[in-house]
Amino acid sequence: MRLIKALSVVFALSIGLSLILPSFHRNGEPPIITEDHHNHHHGYDFQSADQLLFIIEEDQPNGDIVIFAKNIAYCPLTVDIQFPDLTNMETDVSLPFTAVVPTRSEKFKLLTISQSKTLKSGSMSYRYSFNYNVGDILNAKHDDSYEYLLPFASNKSYVVGQGYGGRFSHQNMNCLDFNMDVGSKVCAARAGTVIRVKEDSDTGCKSARCQGKANYIVIYHEDGTSARYIHLKHNGSKVKVGDKVAAGDVIGYSGNTGWSSGPHLHFEVNQPGKNIVYTVPTTFKTKNGLERQLREGNSYTAK
């Protein structure tokens, strides 16, 4: 009996934006990394260097293959596993299979591939694909009672240039754009752990040629959601991946990087779902009391 080990490809879905990345190759060929972007108008995609999940295959003395995952992120990752080909072989889990890989796991077992118990003769082969989401999609649920701070310094006021469902680039999305001069302080709207930082871009413009050039900070919250602060200035982050921040902490400085119509801060809160990332509405504490929906064109002052 002959075992054919086909190329395994990992599809990494990272907070709404996806990267196609290969796992370990059995034929010794160098990996080819491509990117599959699903961005809305502002074009703030994550980079291939941001890969958070790595797949490890280990051959066992009895002929089994054990599949492990390594999670380098400071948050859990949810992995979906598909087997387009599983000829004369079987797994020890029901397929398709979904697993949550704990934060900073070095070697988390996913499944075992074995020869079919009924196989008498013939070749064996397998081919699988993975996609992963940032966060625990099985348990993440936004705490709708949480009262966020506005994402800028206390007593500062800024106009909402584009609100929820905005016609320019927020169609069907719960995202906010605050008109802020370059270099304005950006503050954490909620406590959490920094899971992504990009600050190396000094490019911004009003056209698609600047897609992917936005600087950003992503902070993971205790309820499994995460907040994105986007279009920061070049070298405009005061935090690094793994840092824990409190609500109100200065985390960086606003800018005009990426696909942007002008200097502003884009803010949104995401909840991971099955092959999708939701933007969720949030309630804010302001100088004038609680605001459940910030209105486009209005100015708001941070408490």
pLDDT in tens, 4-43: 555 444 444 433 333 333 332 232 323 222 222 223 334 4
pLDDT of residue 174: 85
CB 73 within 8 A of CB 105: no
pLDDT of residue 120: 75
Residue 142 has pLDDT above 80, yes or no: yes
Instruction: Over range 118-141, report the average pLDDT.
Output: 89
Residue 214 has pLDDT above 90, yes or no: yes
Instruction: Over range 133-153, report the average pLDDT.
Output: 95
pLDDT of residue 215: 96
pLDDT of residue 127: 93
Tell the residue number behind the tokens 């900073």, with chain if given.
104
Comparison of pLDDT for 141 and 26, the residue scoring more: 141
Which band of pLDDT confidence, cut at 50, 70 and 90, is reported for residue 3? low
pLDDT of residue 165: 61
Q: What residues does each domain of the chain span?
A: 3-134, 147-301
C-alpha 291/C-alpha 262 separation (Å) is 25
Q: What would the pLDDT profile of 44-80 be if each residue is shown by its tens digit?
A: 444 445 789 999 999 999 999 999 999 999 999 999 9
Q: Tell me the CATH number for domain 147-301.
A: 2.70.70.10
Tell me the pLDDT of the chain averaged across its residues: 84
Instruction: Over range 266-292, report the average pLDDT.
Output: 91
Instruction: Over range 100-116, report the average pLDDT.
Output: 97
Number of Cβ atoms within 10 Å of the Cβ of 32: 9
CB 85 within 8 A of CB 127: yes
pLDDT of residue 178: 96
2: three-class secondary structure by DSSP? coil
pLDDT of residue 21: 33
pLDDT of residue 119: 82
C-alpha 274/C-alpha 78 separation (Å) is 9
Comparison of pLDDT for 20 and 197, the residue scoring more: 197
pLDDT of residue 17: 33
C-alpha 83/C-alpha 123 separation (Å) is 17
Peptide bond between residue 96 and the one before it cis (omega within 30 degrees of 0): yes
Residue 92 has pLDDT above 90, yes or no: yes
pLDDT of residue 84: 93
Quote the radius of gyration of the chain (alpha carbons, Å): 22
Same fold, 3-134 and 147-301: no
Instruction: Over range 143-172, report the average pLDDT.
Output: 85
Q: Which amino acid is at 147?
A: E
Residue 2 has pLDDT above 60, yes or no: no
Q: What would the pLDDT profile of 224-263 be if each residue is shown by its tens digit?
A: 999 999 999 999 999 999 999 999 999 999 999 998 888 9
Residue 297 has pLDDT above 60, yes or no: yes
- Per CATH, is 3-134 categorized as 1.10.10? no
pLDDT of residue 170: 54
Chain centroid to CA 274: 13
pLDDT of residue 64: 95
Percent of the chain topping pLDDT 70: 81
Which band of pLDDT confidence, cut at 50, 70 and 90, is reported for residue 167? low
pTM of the model: 0.83
